[in-house]
């Protein structure tokens, strides 16, 4: 066994390179073609083969003419099943959407769309990303599609490409396993992992707690502006919106000094990843307490603001800070 294990590990990189060449990354809707579809009998299928051999030997020995016929019929049925197993995947179309960003260490759920143009349903289609423990399995009705969120564990901040997928099925009888490899062009953004127990927010303005409380209040009304994606529902000016047929947002004047600048360079002395982690934790904290915050990175600056879009822009910048996964 150690011998085979060593041999296997020796060949693995070559094998992976071969597969990567044979199944290059494809974009958009990818159809499973017959040139890239493999099929082999399962253990159960080999058992069926044993039944065939038993029948054949019996027929030979007892000179049982119909025994021959029956044995060969089993073979023919196995072939019919083989074709069905093959057809179950052939022509299936897959595409990958943009997954919701996650923090490093969490599962990215890649939204896969499985499109079945055939009239027959496709059964037990199993999808597994390379080197992932979890897999997803689904039935796709005829001339219909199925959405599937495929979990992939993220380890590192940055961009996470959808690993090569193994799409397999043993349906309808389990005698054969048919599979193909598919590299879809799905990419997920992975934010840095927030530091678990971060130090308090860096408050240069030396504001009292009471002032901070005021800052999150809504008294300092400063005007209206148009709705942008990511604005909080409670900021919508419903009455004014109803009059103007536009959704309007109340803008608040934040008290001076309440503005928070989160500066990468101020965390000097710490490793890059720890700094990014801490900044992430602070951003989340500021967002949850509704304190406008700005982010200063060596190459980029994000002026203080609040809201979903701002949060995403800041976290994306941290995620894609040089040195992460691409």
**Which listed residue (1, 3, 5, 66) binds other proteins by CB under 8 A?**
66
Q: Does the footprint of other proteins cover residue 31 (CB under 8 A)?
A: yes
| Residue numbers 269-308 binding other proteins by CB under 8 A | none
Closest to other proteins by CB, 71 or 215: 71
Q: C-alpha 163: how far from its chain's center?
A: 9
Q: Does the footprint of other proteins cover residue 60 (CB under 8 A)?
A: yes
Q: How far apart are CA 318 and CA 276, in angstroms?
A: 6
Q: Does the footprint of other proteins cover residue 53 (CB under 8 A)?
A: no
Reported as type and span, the H/E element at residue 148 is strand 144-153
Rg (CA), the chain: 29
**Which listed residue (30, 39, 41, 81) binds other proteins by CB under 8 A?**
81
| Residue numbers 120-159 binding other proteins by CB under 8 A | 123-124, 139
Count Cβ atoms within 10 A of the Cβ of residue 10 and give its class: 0-12 exposed, 13-18 middle, 19 or more buried. Answer: exposed
Closest to other proteins by CB, 49 or 230: 49
Q: Does the footprint of other proteins cover residue 73 (CB under 8 A)?
A: yes
Q: For residue 167, what are its two tokens? A: 């799409």
Is omega for the bond preceding 172 within 30 degrees of 0, making it cis? Answer: yes
**Which listed residue (28, 199, 271, 322) binds other proteins by CB under 8 A?**
28
Which of the ranges 10-18, 170-178, 195-203, 212-220 carries the binding residues for other proteins, by CB under 8 A? 170-178
Q: Does the footprint of other proteins cover residue 70 (CB under 8 A)?
A: yes
**Which listed residue (11, 76, 203, 226) binds other proteins by CB under 8 A?**
76
Q: Using an 8 Å Cβ cutoff, are 182 and 26 in contact?
A: yes
Binding mask 94-123 for other proteins (x = CB under 8 A): -----------------------xx----x
What lies within 8 Å, CB to CB, of 300 at 6+ separation is 317
Q: How far apart are CA 1 and CA 6, in angstroms?
A: 9
Select from 218, 296, 220, 310 the least CA-distant residue to 256.
220
Alpha helices in 63-132 (DSSP H): 65-89
Residues that bind other proteins (CB under 8 A): 28, 31, 34, 44, 47-48, 50-51, 54-55, 57-58, 60-81, 83-84, 86-87, 90-91, 117-118, 123-124, 139, 171-174
């Amino acid at each position: 066994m150690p011998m085979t294990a060593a041999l296997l590990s020796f060949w693995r990189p070559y094998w992976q390179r071969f597969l990567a060449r044979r199944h290059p990354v494809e974009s958009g809707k990818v159809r499973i073609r017959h040139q890239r579809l493999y099929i082999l009998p399962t253990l159960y299928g080999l058992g069926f083969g044993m039944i065939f051999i038993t029948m054949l030997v019996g027929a030979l020995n007892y000179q049982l003419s119909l025994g021959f016929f029956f044995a060969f019929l089993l073979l023919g049925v196995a072939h019919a099943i083989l074709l069905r197993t093959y057809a179950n995947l052939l022509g299936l179309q897959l595409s990958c959407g943009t997954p919701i960003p996650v923090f490093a260490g969490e599962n990215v759920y890649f939204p896969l769309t499985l499109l079945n143009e055939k009239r027959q349903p496709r059964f037990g289609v199993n999808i597994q990303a390379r080197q992932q423990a979890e897999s997803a399995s689904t039935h796709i009705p005829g001339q219909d599609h199925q959405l599937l969120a495929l979990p992939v564990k993220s380890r590192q901040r940055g961009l996470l490409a959808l690993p090569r997928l193994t799409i397999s099925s043993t349906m309808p009888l389990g005698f054969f396993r048919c599979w193909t490899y598919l590299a879809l062009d799905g990419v997920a953004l992975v934010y840095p992992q927030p530091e678990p127990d971060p130090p308090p927010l860096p408050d240069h303005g030396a504001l009292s707690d009471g002032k901070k409380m005021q800052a999150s209040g809504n008294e300092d009304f400063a005007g209206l502006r148009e709705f942008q994606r990511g604005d909080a529902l409670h900021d919508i000016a419903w009455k004014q919106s109803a009059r103007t047929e536009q959704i309007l947002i109340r803008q608040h004047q934040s008290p001076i000094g309440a503005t928070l600048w989160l500066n990468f360079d101020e965390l000097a002395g710490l490793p890059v990843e720890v700094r990014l982690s801490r900044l992430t934790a602070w951003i989340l904290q500021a967002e949850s307490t509704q304190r406008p915050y700005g982010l200063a990175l060596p190459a980029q600056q994000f002026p203080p603001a609040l809201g979903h879009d701002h949060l995403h822009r800041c976290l994306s910048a941290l995620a894609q800070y040089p040195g992460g996964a691409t």
